Structure 1
Amino acid sequence: MDREQIRERLASAASMPKDVVMGAAVLTALGNFEVCVENYRGITEYTDTLVRVQTKEGQIRVSGKRLQVEYYTNSEMKITGKISKIEFVDGRKEE
């Protein structure tokens, strides 16, 4: 059993949310025009067609048109625009 599995079991046993125990990213999408990202580490690329966000597990790529980071704090950000795709890229992959 690896550390990730142990954390998941602890979160289940303690009835605690996985994002708290494991530091997992939380995405909340509102239609195709807004996405909030919690528990991220940093913004690695920001253009009007692509926002790449680094997380503990890897990377989240938000693609679309007229994308803007409306706000960001140490733990949360809001991306708006016409969102066409949200991708999750494993942090262990080399690209």
Structure 2
Amino acid sequence: MKLPIICPSCEAELKVQSLHCDSCQTNINGSFELPVFLKLDLKEQNFIMDFVQTSGSLKVMAQQLNMSYPTVRNMLDDLINKIEKLKNTKS
């Protein structure tokens, strides 16, 4: 199940309030921002994982995804733009 990042009631961005260690039962409470990576949808997260696993080779990714190099390059550019917007958004 994907971690929810948007409030189902008001559609505001959710924050992490509590963390728990199953090993020693420590609880940490506060208000923590979600990392940018978790704010991306699953398809975008998978694209990043594929990018890292191919050592950043868009040529190899294009072959694996059965897409043209320019299409994969455009996907990367779109993802870069989205990440920049997420980083610059103040919640």
TM-score by length of 1: 0.23
When you count helix as a share of all residues, which structure comes out higher?
2
- Structure number with greater Rg is 2
Return the structure number with greater relative CO, CA threshold 8 A, min gap 6: 1
TM-score by length of 2: 0.24
